[in-house]
Structure 1
Amino acid sequence: MAKAHLTHDQFFTQLSALLTATHSSGHGSIHLSQKRLTFDTTSSSGPTTDKIPDDPLWDLHPPEPLPILVRATDGKSTKGEKRIKNPDKVKLSTVVKPDEIEAFFARYAEVCKAGMAGLKKRDRSKRKKGKGKKGAVGGEGGTKA
């Protein structure tokens, strides 16, 4: 059963909560995705299938701008090899109309930046320092004569 899409305000509230929860736990992943919504789910008509002859990319030229589906999930995908759905997984989604895109993505960027502000810079000092220098010290395993 499909869940209804959130309003923009609900989406941003829950996304910021998800970002702070992941940050406070010290680890975790958040997956953000966006894609073109091929047809409006609120209208009764489905997607248009009017093919234009001799145009292999006919679906890239819609008669009117299409909305965008924006999704956010946490990294808790599945458990085990049987791919059992995890009931604790957080799934957020909202539909952005073409005339709301600029305002939405301005606020989206602010929420994402605020959620990433507390991240620590990656510590690269833990790498092996002798990696790639095999045989450089003392030659090829031989002894000095």
Structure 2
Amino acid sequence: MAGDHLSNDEFFTRLVNLFELNRKKGHGSVILTQKRLAFESNADVPSPTKVLDDPLWDTHPENPLPLIIRASNTRSTERPGTDRKNVDKIKLSTVVQPDQLDAFYARYAEACKAGMSGLKKRDKKKKKKDKKKKKGVD
């Protein structure tokens, strides 16, 4: 599984391409997730007394753990009468070591901001009008 992860630089290149692909389509979502990468080993299994003493033992490990960052798009299906085309799901992932987190998050924030630049602002007025109508009916 470790061979499936991209390098950080390649991840950012493909993430920018993923944002641009969704912008060109005019619809779709990019899902970003991150979590601590835990390694499977019996050495990390706590003793029952350790769990009783500290039920949150796994929140402060002895050595900092790397993070896995994932990005994917939503799979699109062709719809009659629209300009939507079939798009395959794209999945990206990279592993970030604890000593590289600050530099990674700086680039990650820039990439996310650039990817959100073409978003349209939500129309909140329409929702407020709908709520007022519902209140008036009740």
d(CA) in 2 for partners of 1:100 and 1:2? 18
Task: In structure 2, give the amino acid aligned to 1:96.
Answer: V
- 2:96 and 2:104 in contact (8 A); partners too: yes
Shift of 1:126: 4.8
d(CA) in 1 for partners of 2:30 and 2:88? 14
**Of the two, which has the highest radius of gyration?**
1
Which structure has greater helix proportion? 2
Partner of 1:138: none
d(CA) in 1 for partners of 2:97 and 2:2? 20
Partner of 1:134: 137
1:69 aligns with 2:65: no
- 1:67 and 1:97 in contact (8 A); partners too: yes
Partner of 1:89: 89
CA-atom RMSD, angstroms? 2.8
Scaled by the length of structure 1, the TM-score of the pair is 0.73
d(CA) in 2 for partners of 1:134 and 1:64? 59
- 1:38 and 1:47 in contact (8 A); partners too: no
Scaled by the length of structure 2, the TM-score of the pair is 0.76
- 1:5 and 1:95 in contact (8 A); partners too: yes
d(CA) in 2 for partners of 1:89 and 1:47? 37
Task: In structure 1, give the amino acid aligned to 2:68.
Answer: L
d(CA) in 2 for partners of 1:47 and 1:7? 28
Shift of 1:47: 5.7
Task: In structure 2, give the amino acid aligned to 1:103.
Answer: A
- 1:5 and 1:94 in contact (8 A); partners too: yes
Percent identity of equivalent pairs:
54
Partner of 2:19: 19
d(CA) in 2 for partners of 1:46 and 1:104? 30
Going from structure 1 to structure 2, the CA distance change for 1:101 and 1:5 (only over 3 Å counts) comes to same
What secondary structure sits across from 2:4 in the alignment?
Answer: coil
Going from structure 1 to structure 2, the CA distance change for 1:77 and 1:47 (only over 3 Å counts) comes to farther
Off by >6 Å, runs of 4+ in structure 1: none
Report Cα offsets for 1:51-96 as digits up to 9, x if no partner: 3252212222211000000000101289xxxxxxxx9210000000
Partner of 1:81: none
Q: How many residues are paired up?
A: 123
1:111 aligns with 2:107: no
Match of 1:48 among 35, 44, 60: 44
